[in-house]
């Protein structure tokens, strides 16, 4: 793992949260993107070298909507940057971590991603991110 790539925050209303984070960070989001495969609308902010990803569910049955129902709005996942997602996935699987997908998926902000189940990662949903080249 290279560094924390971003922190994902689950929100109910992306418009309202974009306004809040624009005030908080003193800068507007640089990108808003729908990720169909994950059923989310994402919005990205920079804070110096760090990134914050807001996530709103596109439907009431989506994973983010269900997460908010259970736990409320707030920190949803920590994403780590990796250079070779497939070899990291193999390594982590061998170490006993449970992957939520067998293959990397296309994520927001030009990334290949894979999530690790929080049960095997100390209660934290972990995302691996590799820069995509297309």
Would you tell me which residues interact with Zn ion (CB under 5 A)?
8, 53, 79, 127
Q: Which residue is nearest to Zn ion (CB)?
A: 8
Shortest Cβ distance from residue 54 to Zn ion (Å)?
10
Q: Which of 49, 65, 47 is nearest to 57 (CA)?
A: 65
Residue closer to Zn ion (CB basis): 44 or 97:
44
Strands, sheet with 31-35, edge to edge from the N-terminal-most edge strand = 31-35, 40-47, 50-57, 3-10, 74-81, 126-131, 111-116, 105-107
Query: Measured between alpha carbons, how far is residue 49 from residues 4, 12, 52 in Å?
Result: 10, 26, 10
Instruction: For tokens 């439907």, name the residue.
Output: 59
Shortest Cβ distance from residue 6 to Zn ion (Å)?
6
Residue closer to Zn ion (CB basis): 8 or 104:
8
Residue closer to Zn ion (CB basis): 54 or 123:
54
Shortest Cβ distance from residue 7 to Zn ion (Å)?
8
């Amino acid at each position: 793992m290279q560094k924390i790539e971003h922190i994902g925050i689950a929100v109910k209303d992306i418009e309202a949260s974009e306004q809040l984070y624009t005030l908080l960070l003193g800068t507007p989001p640089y990108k808003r993107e729908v990720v169909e495969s994950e059923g989310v609308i994402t919005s990205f902010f920079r804070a110096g070298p760090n990134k914050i990803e807001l996530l709103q569910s596109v439907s009431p049955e989506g994973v983010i909507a269900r997460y908010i129902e259970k736990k409320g709005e707030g920190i949803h996942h920590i994403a780590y940057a990796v250079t070779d997602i497939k070899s990291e996935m193999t390594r982590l699987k061998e170490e006993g971590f449970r992957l939520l997908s067998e293959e990397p998926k296309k994520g927001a902000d030009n990334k290949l991603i894979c999530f690790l189940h929080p049960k095997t990662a100390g209660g934290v949903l972990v995302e691996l991110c590799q820069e995509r080249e297309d």
